[in-house]
Structure 1
């Protein structure tokens, strides 16, 4: 268990120091985390609507932070190029995220053109039924995306990395609230980029 939690700690630390320099990105992650926590509670009541909230609010705010606001130039804090960081990213890098988001966007169209998915499901009745089918499709996509990457990490690295990453993703909303709850305050003060002084001090040790 010690090895598992050390792997988890390293993954979380690398995720923060490499990919969350923008205060806007951090603030969007806070919004994402809070909405994810609501969807976690909602999943026990209505999984379809939980997935709709998770994908339409939580995922869009989270990924918008990475796509549009996170600096993509040379990382002077960590002395790393963007290309290097994309190559070593343990989870979904930009290329993998584009594929995932493309599938997300395509699923409603697929259900609209083939409401029964070729006879696999009962066709939806009415617009609300269609929306709930989309929600369940997105729920399945989220689970599949999580499991797929865990297995991929198991095959390419080791099982510990995969399991730690899967646990990290599930618990990220709780961790992000603790980590980025002050980000909006820094934004109001006009600080667009986190100076990451704690990263430099950590590396010095």
Structure 2
């Protein structure tokens, strides 16, 4: 258990120091985290609505931060190029995220033009029914994306790495709130980039 928690701390630390320099990105992650927490609660009473909230608010704000605001140049804090960071990323790098988000965008179109999915499901009745089906399909996509990369990591690295990553993803909303609740305040001060003064202390010093 100690080694599991140590690796979890390392994955979280690497994710923060490599991919969250922009205060705008950090602030969007705060919005994403809070809406994900609401979606977690909603999951027990209305899974389709939970998925709609998670994908339409949580995921879009989260990925917008990475795609549009996070610096893509040389990372002087960590002495690493963007290309190197993308190559060593444990989870979904930008290339994999493009594929995932393309599938996300395709789901509503597929269900609009083929509401029964070729006879696999009962066709939706009206807009409300279509939204429900979209939400359930997005929920399935989210679970599939998590399981696929977890199992992929079993083969690329080892069983523990995959399980640690899955644990990190599921608990990221709570951790991100603790990590980035000050980011909007920094933005109000005009600070667009986190100076990362804590980067030399490592995961335990943050």
Per the normalisation by structure 1, the TM-score is: 0.98
In the alignment, what sits opposite 1:149?
A: 149
Cα RMSD (Å)? 1.1
Taking the aligned partners of 2:147 and 2:153, their CA distance within structure 1 comes to: 10
Q: How does 1:25-174 map to 2 (within 5 A)?
A: 25-174=25-174
Query: C-alpha separation between the residues in 2 aligned to 1:201 and 1:101?
Result: 35
State the alpha-carbon separation in 1 of the partners of residues 46 and 164 from structure 2: 28
Secondary structure (helix, strand or coil) at the match of 2:117 reads coil
Distance 1:172 1:166 in 2: 10
Q: Residue 184 of structure 1 corresponds to which residue in structure 2?
A: 184
| Structure 1 unaligned blocks of 5 or more | none
- Residue deviations 1:39-89 (CA, integer Å, cap 9, x gap): 000000100000000000000000000000000000000000000000000
Deviation, 1:202, is 3.6
Please give the alpha-carbon distance, in whole angstroms, between the structure 2 residues aligned to 1:144 and 1:119. Answer: 22
How far apart are the structure 1 equivalents of 2:97 and 2:61? Answer: 13
Following the alignment from structure 2 to structure 1, what is the Cα–Cα distance between the partners of residues 107 and 55? Answer: 12
- How far does residue 120 in structure 1 lie from its aligned partner after superposition? 1.2
* 1-structure distance, mates of 2:200, 2:109: 47
Q: 2: CA distance between counterparts of 1:17 and 1:120? A: 45
TM-score of the superposition, structure 2-length normalised? 0.97
Q: CA deviation at 1:201?
A: 3.9
Q: Secondary structure at the match of 2:179?
A: helix
Q: In structure 2, what is the Cα distance between the partners aligned to 1:178 and 1:131?
A: 33
Unaligned runs of 5+ in 2: none
CA distance in 2, matches of 1:28, 1:85: 21
CA distance in 2, matches of 1:185, 1:12: 22
**Could you tell me whether the CA contact under 8 Å between 2:13 and 2:202 is conserved in 1?**
no
Q: How many residue pairs align between the two structures?
A: 204
